[in-house]
Amino acid sequence: MNETAVKTENLTRKFGDFTAVDRVSIEVNRGEIFGFLGANGAGKTTMIRMLCGLLVPTGGMGHVAGFDIRTESEKIKQNIGYMSQKFSLYNDLTISENIDFYGGIYGLSPAEVKEKKIRILKELNLIRWANSMTADLPPGFKQGLALGTAMLHDPPIVFLDEPTSGVDPASRREFWEVIHQSAAKGITIFVTTHFMDEAEYCNRISIMSAGSIIALDTPRNLKKHHQRDSIQQVFIDLMKEETQSPENRAG
Amino acid sequence: MVPKRSVISSFAKKEFFHIIRDPRSLVILFLMPILQLIMFGYALKMEIQQVNLAVIDFNRSLSSHHLIDQFRGSHYFRPFYFDGSIEQIETLFKARQAHAVMVIPHDFNRQLQRHRSTPVQFIVDASDANAATTIRNYIAQTIRIFNQSHNRIEALPFEVRSTIFFNPDKKSTYFFVPGIIALLLVMISAMLTSITITREKETGTLEQILVSPIKSYQIILGKVLPYIFLAFAIGVIILLIGIFLFGVPFRGSIILLLVLSTLYILTALSLGLMISTIARTQQVAMMIALISTLLPTFMLSGFIFPIASMPEILQYFTYLVPAKYYLFIARGIILKGSNLMHLLQPTIFLLIMSLVLLVISIRKFEITLED
Ligand SMILES: Nc1ncnc2c1ncn2[C@@H]1O[C@H](COP(=O)(O)OP(=O)(O)OP(=O)(O)O)[C@@H](O)[C@H]1O
Ligand SMILES: [Mg+2]
């Protein structure tokens, strides 16, 4: 695999007259933690869904793991993990059955699934809960389990759509630890979040507003450029500029 | 590469868990059709067996008594004397005290001896057209027997019309039981699968599945397999109850009936799946499944109305109704003892329908993930 994990050029998605993602061009490097920030409705989920092959772009180009998102989505599927914004494990299945299922549809052998299952459950301290209903898990564990399941098949690129929403701060920290460990192994992480403190953990962040990217840099550079101490304040500044002169944002 | 079967079986296993984790629905799934079958079956049985026949006998002779006894002797009729006038008949019907009235003229005995032929008036409550036809045929049948025993030389000028409802020994129940079974099986099967994909659309799990390398056909097969077993279990119960409770004489091979019932179930499950790929919400899916199975099965399968007597346009539509083929199969095996060779055509039709529906589902599914 080459060094660029995700690359888009003027990637666009319209729903009727409404443009949800407007000519977005980004490049994400292998092993990078790439954060996507933006208010509700900015277009983050739409962006991820196009990159995962769930949604066809209406304009522009995109490559994931070197494969064209328009024509090679089958190959992309082999190379990505995806954790959708909605909790998508089955609440009426036990934790163990959920892992078996997702392992199964990725074509993992029972032995592989078993090994991965033990590893995930150990990491989450859930060994004794393996046969409990997923519905009964606290939110933090649910998200951790969803992350583990999304990475069952060792994908080189992982898309996480607001993986920590509804999760308590302690669990969020643990969650990000897992993300960092994965990135250290060379896995590319593409993550959206509403939490500004989480943005600080990313290698680079892009801030999206109304379908376009209005800032893209390392957290340090962004803070330096805006002369602020936190991404939170940078974000507020940017949003203010946006509301004052929305037509200027394209450049 | 891991064999593809394991992907499908993982999927099927998951579906199986969904089924058993919802015992309340499971109980409803089994109980509902049983109750409906029993209610429906008995309703039809009663209607056929007990015809309350009001008798206005102006003659009061030995001959008129014989005639009445003839009706009493056939166990379909319960004759009772009615002393009112002919004008009061309507009240009798409205109060549901009588289904039919027989008026014996005052010269019945004399005419019978002199001319060997005499009219007897029958008035049948036709508020239920089917029942009325049946009753009329029973009357004709009874009169014919009366004629044969009392007037061998010359038959009464009585037109005996034999329609599909004509039934010397309450065949009507036998005739309807396969229809009820066909209706219940198609309804339940289609509704079962109609919500399975839409539910995953609603919960968002479908998206998670679609980013995996699983193929559409694997999803569709994984969905349909566990439901075949479930619907088959329900089917066996309905068939056994239908046949034994209503004493339907079984002339054919029960194995063949079960195999072909499974094929019919598969057709209905495939229809449900296709609906599931189109509908966005579970409610809509359920409604479509209900309407697309209930009405056509009731009206166009030959369950109630004989296909041959439908307007020609409607007759073409009946080719699209799976129950039409199943009824042919079930009635053939149960009532006539048909074997597979006799039933080749409807079997092939069902097979083609299932395949077409499954292929459409798979295609539709591929499009769903694109929009
Ligand atoms: N299938 C669709 N049809 C029509 N409009 C859509 C569709 N999907 C998304 N949109 C619209 O596109 C815009 C961007 O939605 P998107 O879900 O990408 O935002 P988001 O940044 O992920 O927001 P959030 O933080 O709330 O998750 C929204 O205004 C949304 O209403
Ligand atoms: Mg979103």
Q: What is the pLDDT of residues B314-327, one digit of tens each?
A: 899 999 999 999 99
pLDDT at residue B64 in the model: 87
Range of weakest confidence among B17-21, B119-123, B128-132, B330-334 = B128-132
pLDDT of residue A247: 57
The owner of tokens 């007990």 is B50
* Confidence at residue B25, expressed as pLDDT on a 0 to 100 scale: 86
| Rounded average pLDDT over B132-158 | 71
The alpha carbon dihedral of A138, A140, A144, A149 has a sign of positive
Percent of chain B with pLDDT over 90: 40
At B85, the pLDDT band (50, 70, 90 cuts) reads confident
What integer best gives the mean pLDDT of chain A? 92
In chain B, where are the structural domains located? 9-44+171-370, 51-149
Query: Per-10-residue mean pLDDT for chain A, 251 residues long?
Result: 86 95 96 93 94 94 95 93 94 96 94 94 90 93 94 96 90 92 95 90 94 93 91 88 64 41
Q: Which of B13, B22, B213 faces A106 most closely, judged by CB atoms?
A: B213
Q: Give the model's pLDDT for residue A165.
A: 87
Q: How far is the CA of A84 from the centre of ligand 2 (A)?
A: 9
User: pLDDT digits over A38-77, tens only?
Assistant: 989 999 999 999 999 999 999 999 999 999 999 999 999 9
Q: Which helix (H) or strand (E) holds B67?
A: helix B62-73
Q: By the CB < 8 Å criterion, does A80 face chain B? A: yes
Percent of chain B clearing pLDDT 70 (strictly above): 87
**How far apart, in whole angstroms, are the C-alpha atoms of residue B142 and residue B80?**
16
Residue B129 has pLDDT above 70, yes or no: no
Give yes or no for residue B97 having a pLDDT over 70.
Answer: yes
The pTM for the full model equals: 0.79
The pLDDT, as a whole number, for residue B148 is 76
Given the candidates 3.40.1710.10, 3.40.640.10, 3.40.50.11540, 2.60.40.10, the CATH classification of the domain at B51-149 is: 3.40.1710.10
Residues of chain A positioned with their CB less than 8 A from the CB of B13: 97, 100-101, 104
Nearest by CB: B208 against A55, A82, A100: A82
Range from A113-127, B16-30, B93-107 carrying the lowest mean pLDDT: B93-107
Q: Is the pLDDT score of B271 beyond 60?
A: yes
For residue A196, the Cα-to-chain-centroid distance in whole angstroms is 15
CA dihedral B107, B108, B113, B116 (to 10 degrees): 120
Q: What is the secondary structure of A121-140 as a DSSP string?
A: HHHTT-GGGTTSBGGGS-HH
The answer to whether residue A93 neighbours chain B at the CB level (below 8 Å) is yes
Q: B324-338, pLDDT tens digit by residue?
A: 999 999 989 988 888
The residue whose CB lies within 8 Å of the most ligand 1 atoms, and thus the one to mutate among A15, A86, A161, A194, is: A15
Q: Is the pLDDT of residue B162 over 70?
A: no
Q: Closest Cα to atom 16, ligand 1: which residue? A: A43
- CA–CA–CA angle B27, B30, B32 (5° rounding): 95
Question: What's the mean pLDDT in B290-304?
Answer: 90
pLDDT-derived band at B86 (thresholds 50, 70, 90) equals confident
Q: Distance between alpha carbon A129 and the CA centroid of its chain, in Å?
A: 27
Using a CB-CB cut-off of 8 Å, the residues of chain A touching B9 are: 104
User: With contact defined as beta carbons under 8 Å apart, do B333 and B257 qualify?
Assistant: yes
| Residue corresponding to tokens 């007897």 | B120
CA A6 – ligand 2 centroid, Å: 19
Predicted pLDDT at A250: 47
| A53 contacts in chain B (CB < 8 Å) | 211, 369
The beta strands (E) that lie in chain A are given as 4-15, 18-29, 33-38, 59-64, 67-68, 80-83, 157-161, 188-193, 204-209, 212-217
Give pLDDT tens digits for B280-291.
Answer: 899 999 999 999
**What is d(CA A210, CA A247) in angstroms, rounded to the nearest whole number?**
11
Average pLDDT over residues B15-44: 87
Going by pLDDT thresholds of 50, 70 and 90, the confidence category of residue B77 is confident
The pLDDT, as a whole number, for residue B161 is 39
* Residue in this structure with the two tokens 């998670």, named with its chain if needed: B208
pLDDT attached to residue B322: 96
